């Protein structure tokens, strides 16, 4: 089976990464969770560690805990068969689009050569902002990158209704399976 890195960002939808991690492990995949510092406001490393059965990477300072001389974010980037950013926030998408590395997830992204699936989740107005749309277009144009979502319409945690919700877990799992079944492009 595949080695999948789940990049989890600071969104209320971060809790849904737990269900995705659990489902992928049940399918036989090796799952590693990498959280932005903001993600830890919404989900705990203990939850993700328990469900993924692997230590969770959250901060650069924690990377040498295993005693490995290769930084964990580089090691995971080299092992990954697929990188999934879920939920992808406007901030993380902007960092990825512009090559900024303020945290372990964005640093891992730059070192990763595996296909990348990006599942946005944010306020409708944030998603529709020209800067976010330009960043999404930049990412979608990169080889091996796909943006899935956000879901078309629905109530958001902020109280507005519109496009911005994370796509359903079933769709996420379907997209991951499809990406793993597709041969990498040279």
Contact residues for 21 (Cβ-Cβ < 8 A; gap 6+): 6, 31, 33, 48, 51, 52
**CATH topology assigned to domain 3-181:** Rossmann fold (3.40.50)
Q: How confident is the model at residue 175 (pLDDT cuts 50, 70, 90)?
A: very high
Q: What is the pLDDT of residue 185?
A: 59
What tokens were used for 71?
């930084």
Please report the pLDDT score of residue 153 as a whole number. 75
Helix 130-141, helix 90-98: angle, nearest 10: 50
Q: Please say whether the beta carbons of 118 and 146 come within 8 A.
A: yes
What does the pLDDT read at residue 15?
96
What is the reported pLDDT for 22?
98
The stretches of 7-142 forming alpha helices (DSSP H) are 16-26, 45-52, 72-79, 90-98, 104-111, 124-128, 130-141
Verify whether residue 158 is a known catalytic residue.
yes
Model pLDDT for residues 29-41, shown as the tens digit of each residue = 999 999 999 999 9
Asked if residue 48 lies in contact with residue 80, where contact means CB atoms within 8 angstroms, the answer is no
- Tens-place pLDDT, residues 104-120: 999 999 999 999 999 99
Q: CA 168 to CA 130: how far, in whole Å?
A: 25
pLDDT at 155: 67
Task: Tell me: pLDDT of 181 over 60.
Answer: yes
C-beta pairs of 136-141 under 8 Å, 24+ apart in sequence: 136/93, 136/97, 138/97, 139/93, 139/96, 139/97
Active-site residue among 35, 58, 95, 158? 158
pTM equals 0.93
Token pair of 139 as six digits: 């990412």
Q: Where are the domains of the chain?
A: 3-181
- What's the residue count for the chain? 186
Give 132 or 69, the one with higher predicted confidence. Answer: 132
């Amino acid at each position: 089976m595949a080695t999948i890195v789940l990049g989890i960002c600071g969104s209320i939808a971060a809790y849904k990464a737990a269900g995705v991690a659990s489902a992928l492990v049940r399918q036989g995949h090796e799952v590693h969770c990498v959280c932005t510092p903001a993600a830890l406001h919404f989900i705990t490393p203990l939850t993700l560690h328990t469900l993924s059965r692997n230590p969770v990477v959250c901060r650069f300072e924690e990377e040498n805990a295993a005693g490995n001389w290769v930084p964990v974010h580089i090691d995971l980037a080299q092992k990954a068969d697929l990188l999934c950013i879920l939920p992808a926030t406007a901030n993380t998408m902007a960092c990825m689009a512009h090559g900024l590395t303020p945290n372990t997830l964005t640093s891992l992204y730059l070192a990763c050569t595996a296909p990348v699936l990006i599942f946005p989740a944010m306020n409708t107005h944030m998603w529709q902002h020209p800067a976010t749309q330009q960043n999404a277009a930049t990412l979608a144009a990169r080889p091996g990158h796909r943006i899935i979502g956000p879901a078309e319409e629905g109530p958001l945690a902020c109280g507005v209704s519109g496009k911005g919700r994370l796509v359903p877990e079933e769709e996420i799992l379907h997209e991951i399976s499809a990406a793993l079944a597709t041969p990498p492009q040279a």
